[in-house]
Amino acid sequence: MKREGGMSFSFSLPVTVVTLAIAFVYFSTVFIFIDRWFGLTSSPGLIHSSLFTALALMCVSNYAASVFTDPGRVPPKYLPEIEDARSPIHEIKRKGGDLRYCQKCSLYKPPRAHHCRVCKRCVLRMDHHCIWINNCVGHANYKKFFIFVVYAVTACIYSLVLLLGSLVNDSQTEDEQIGDSSRTAYVISGLLLIPLSITLSILLGWHIYLVLHNKTTIEYYEGVRAMWLAEKGGHIYKHPYDLGPFDNLTAVLGQNIFCWLCPTTKHIGSGLRFRTSFDNASGDI
Catalytic residues: 130
Q: Could you tell me which of 18, 1, 19, 20 has the C-alpha nearest to residue 10?
A: 1
Per DSSP (E only), the strands in the chain are 101-102, 107-108, 114-116, 121-123, 128-130, 135-137
Mention every residue, 6+ apart, whose C-beta is less than 8 A from residue 219.
Answer: 112, 239, 241
205-215 burial string, b = 16+ CB within 10 Å, else e? eebeebbebbb
Instruction: Tell the burial category of 282 from Cβ atoms under 10 Å away from its Cβ (0-12, 13-18, 19+).
Output: exposed
What are residue 8's DSSP bridge partners?
2
Which three-class secondary structure state does DSSP give residue 203? helix
Distance CA 264, CA 181 (A): 41
Q: Are β-strands 114-116 and 121-123 bridged in parallel, bridged antiparallel, or unpaired?
A: antiparallel
